Structure 1
């Protein structure tokens, strides 16, 4: 453990919290679940964190073996942060925490980022629907592209592009995507306005939108 504070408890829960219990640590892990990011990308996804605190968390998580740095050589000369295999093992915990936390009252301020929206798909995915939702889908959101693959009984989502032709593609900006998911506008209205585009055959487009909107369907009234 790189930090100065420890619970001093040999229990696995306490030892885990010694590593990821500091403020912002789990949110850094959350924002790396879909793939590597640059420092500035992490900073943009965590607007309430200061650069100094983010640097400190990345340093601690790197020293503890949860995150690793990867430097891309010329001509890009970019430093990326990505999860180690041990860090990726936190995904089921984070998805379950997201399911649990979604039952708490939402904050008065703040909006979901792209990664959080797409991770909601993974958290809400029903394996029983895998056969009907099977396919390869691209989400082009602002300047980023994400690939969602539904196969067997799971959905895998990562920052990437399809190696071949995806079954369907959704292109939009984050504000429009949030508005659709928050039911401020309908998907049909967003398509009609040109703010959102769907490509692919009708069946594949329907599967893509079902996959996207499933976590955001209104809960049934009791």
Structure 2
């Protein structure tokens, strides 16, 4: 039985009963990046109490959204096929929520999985298909990601390989993705720091990843 029962017969109601509890959709968000051990989920959601994480995982399993699976002698949590159907919902929520975002507060963190999903939300495959393949290394607060764009295909990993452009950004990444700052202006103001590679490729990045604010 769902932890929350709204007493209405409706698809939206049923969806909220299954994944509408606090933290549930953030667990789904992180599992859309890939399977995670319990400790990895806890590390990616540093404010979640351990009893709440355990409860949400149990509820999501009972709902058929996630499952436990053995991987190299450890147990990981992963989305089921039914759970993966939530990806366009999560991306749409991310795009909608982006419109109401400002710069992060001091107590807010950026995690690798949250930034990966932000990039997947902002990715414009139709635009990327017209541009040369490009590899970016992004240092975002304490998060370092390899962003590889090849035509309409996006891969975001934590590998360390040669890239065309490496850059560091704090809150400026939001202003770049939203179009509030141009690539040239972001570099000039220090919102984005180019670490290596061609500076002009930051404009390609901003063209490839865009969310209207």
TM-score by length of 1: 0.69
Moved more, 10-19 or 108-117: 108-117
CA RMSD for the aligned pairs?
A: 3.6
The C-alpha deviation readout for 1:149-175, integer Å capped at 9, x for no partner, is: 4434xx44355769xxx7837778xxx
CA contact (8 A) 1:132 1:207 kept: no
- Which residue in 2 is equivalent to 1:151? 151
- Which residue in 2 is equivalent to 1:90? 86
Tell me how far 1:58 sits from its aligned partner: 0.8
Moved more, 131-140 or 58-67: 131-140
CA contact (8 A) 1:3 1:60 kept: yes
CA contact (8 A) 1:67 1:87 kept: yes
- Distance, in Å, in 2 between the alignment partners of 1:78 and 1:145 is 25
TM-score by length of 2: 0.72
- Distance, in Å, in 1 between the alignment partners of 2:203 and 2:76 is 30
- Which residue in 2 is equivalent to 1:10? 9
CA contact (8 A) 2:146 2:157 kept: yes
> In structure 2, the residue corresponding to 1:81 is in which secondary structure?
strand
The C-alpha deviation readout for 1:156-195, integer Å capped at 9, x for no partner, is: 4355769xxx7837778xxx554662668454x451xxxx
CA contact (8 A) 2:165 2:194 kept: no
Asked if residue 118 in structure 1 is aligned to residue 116 in structure 2, the reply is yes
- Distance, in Å, in 1 between the alignment partners of 2:28 and 2:81 is 12
Tell me how far 1:94 sits from its aligned partner: 0.9
2:98 equivalent among 102, 105, 125: 102
Asked if residue 181 in structure 1 is aligned to residue 177 in structure 2, the reply is no
Tell me how far 1:81 sits from its aligned partner: 1.0
- Distance, in Å, in 1 between the alignment partners of 2:9 and 2:71 is 39
Which residues in structure 2 correspond to 1:125-136 (within 5 Å)? 125-135=123-133
- Distance, in Å, in 1 between the alignment partners of 2:118 and 2:60 is 24
Moved more, 31-40 or 107-116: 107-116
- Distance, in Å, in 1 between the alignment partners of 2:158 and 2:82 is 22
CA contact (8 A) 2:125 2:151 kept: no
Tell me how far 1:3 sits from its aligned partner: 2.9
- Distance, in Å, in 2 between the alignment partners of 1:212 and 1:44 is 32
Asked if residue 72 in structure 1 is aligned to residue 60 in structure 2, the reply is no
- Distance, in Å, in 1 between the alignment partners of 2:25 and 2:38 is 16
- Which residue in 1 is equivalent to 2:62? 63
